[in-house]
Amino acid sequence: MDKQKQNPLEKATEEEAKRLEKAEKNRPTLFAQTTYLGSLALLMVIPAVGGAYFGRWIDSQIAGYSIRWTTSLIVLGIVLGSVNAYIFIKGRE
């Protein structure tokens, strides 16, 4: 059938089929998905754990602060980890 005589529904169906075939070929593997999620987890966890250790160290050096620095730096680590993850996800798109 000629391309010019083809009705719009057939044309749209063919384009959709081509798009689906291309998406199937470019589908990420299980290893790639696992690596991506692992990287994302590390970007979230390392700042929070680092904040906890650093805050605990500051609290042990200064008398009378109990867990004030620990709590504050854990929250800061979570915020920084979230920003890291957001930037990482946006960079992959």
Q: Does residue 4 fall inside a structural domain?
A: no
Q: Does residue 3 fall inside a structural domain?
A: no
- Residue-number span of the structural domain to which 80 is assigned: 29-92
Q: Does residue 86 fall inside a structural domain?
A: yes
Per-residue pLDDT 10s for the chain (93 aa) are 455 567 888 888 888 888 888 877 777 788 888 998 999 999 999 999 999 999 999 988 887 768 888 999 999 999 999 999 999 999 876
Task: Work out how many domains the chain is built from and give that number.
Answer: 1
Q: Are 78 and 47 in contact (CB under 8 A)?
A: yes
**Amino acid, single-letter form, for residue 16:** E
Q: Are 52 and 70 in contact (CB under 8 A)?
A: yes
Q: Does residue 8 fall inside a structural domain?
A: no
Q: What pLDDT shows up at residue 4?
A: 58
User: What pTM was estimated for this model as a whole?
Assistant: 0.67
Q: Does residue 23 fall inside a structural domain?
A: no
Q: Does residue 24 fall inside a structural domain?
A: no
